[in-house]
Amino acid sequence: MIRPEERVDRHSVTVNERLLLHLLECSSNRDVMDAPFALTQEGIAQALGIRVNHVSRAVKALQEQRCVTESTAHVHGESRKRKVYLINHEGLTAAQSLARELARRTATVKDGRGATREVTLADARKLSGGPYTLTHILSAMDDGGVIDLGRLVPGVTVPPRSHHDEGRPRGEPFYGRSWELATIRQWYDSPVSVLVVTGPRGIGKSALVSKALEEIESSRHSFWYTVRGGGGTEPILRALAAFLGSVGRPDLSARLMERVSRIPEVAGVFERDWPAPGAILVLDRADAAPDVAGMVVDVMRKRSGKAILVSEGALPDQGALRSAGAVQILALGGLASDDCRRLVPKALAGPEFEKIFRLSRGNPLSIKLLSADVLEGVEARFSPEERALLRVLKVRQDAD
């Protein structure tokens, strides 16, 4: 265990502590859909420079201490699911405390000519080729606490691409929208930082953006967050902090652990640490979190970053932002008839489909609801809100 006022060497931090620190710096920690390789046993062993069997023992001990949990997830770049390890609340508290303490401690840096100098680990993270994680710094340190710059090779120690997904739709059939997909590709190559995708509920906004993101995220970090009703801004900020930690920038996590910060306080750290132009941010249901949406627009403009905001209605100051060239608007309409036909059972007669298509105006959710044979059994397939919509649409259909 590290002690106050001492220099750091490889023996100052235990394997268990280094493992927790690694998970803090590379894990999104919740609703894992596409986990980085660094969260597997092999990835942890590689990052810490230890054997896999040592990782296994450390993980077991940390699980017994309720600091780490085990999950199964798709690992980015692999076709099958694998076991990954995530830091939980108890582990997060310990790891963030350790990270703050380590940042204040000192070590010796040796350059290519053999010259040495004393730096804090916070400054060591900013050495040429960085920013580096504390895990990388400790892995490049020898028994005497000397960091060899020759081991911190740019492009080798930089964390792998990270993908944080909370609430992103996956595995659903996708039809049509070729013009809209092309529009998103053109926006991504343009100088406009923010794309606002608008349209009524069920029109397919999230599905469209998720499909477009598949092309973009292969070469970029990506952050997707779907705002939940009544959750406030704190869950969004904590998810954003976890993502920044996964790309080697844990300062926002440390700040939020100390206290709940307001948007203006978070904005400065977000602006400094957002990995533009190597990342894209998606905020789904952005109209439910206007303060966060406003912060995203402001930061992306300043950093020349890229973000997509998905919203049913217009965002605050949307017209002025559009006039200033800060945002581009993509308003979604209904699907074409041929694409809607693929959403309904094949047994549905032509005249019935045409009636459904006309009532729904090409809205995919309405199409699916109206094509349900009867209300019986709907409770097992749809939410109460969707069942209420179905009843309204059925009344309109029967009255026509």
Type of residue at 293: A
pLDDT tens column, 344-375: 666 565 666 677 677 777 677 776 766 664 33
Domain at 15-151: CATH architecture:
Orthogonal Bundle (1.10)
- What is the pLDDT, as a whole number, of residue 367? 67
More confident residue, 177 or 76: 177
pLDDT band at 142 (very low <50, low <70, confident <90, very high): confident
Neighbours of 351 (CB within 10 A): 8
More confident residue, 117 or 111: 117
Segment 204-212 shows an average pLDDT of 88
pLDDT tens column, 27-73: 644 444 567 778 888 888 878 877 888 888 999 999 999 999 888 87
pLDDT tens column, 317-332: 888 888 888 899 998 8
Residue 157, pLDDT above cutoff 50: no
Give the C-alpha separation, 90 to 83, whole Å: 20
- What is the pLDDT, as a whole number, of residue 30? 45
Q: Tokens at residue 105, please?
A: 């401690």
- What is the pLDDT, as a whole number, of residue 34? 60
* Residue ranges matching CATH 3.40.50.300 in the chain: 163-331
Residue 382, pLDDT above cutoff 60: no
Give the C-alpha separation, 292 to 296, whole Å: 6
Residue 386, pLDDT above cutoff 60: no
Residue 4, pLDDT above cutoff 60: no
Residue 71: enclosing H or E segment and its boundaries? strand 68-75
192-196, 198-202, 244-248: range with lowest mean pLDDT: 244-248
Percentage of residues of the chain with pLDDT beyond 70: 76
Q: What is the mean pLDDT of the chain?
A: 78
Give the C-alpha separation, 312 to 143, whole Å: 57
Q: Which residues contact 33 (CB under 8 A, 6 or more apart)?
A: 73, 74, 163, 165, 168, 170
CATH class of 163-331: alpha beta
pLDDT tens column, 259-300: 667 888 888 889 888 988 788 999 999 999 999 999 999 999
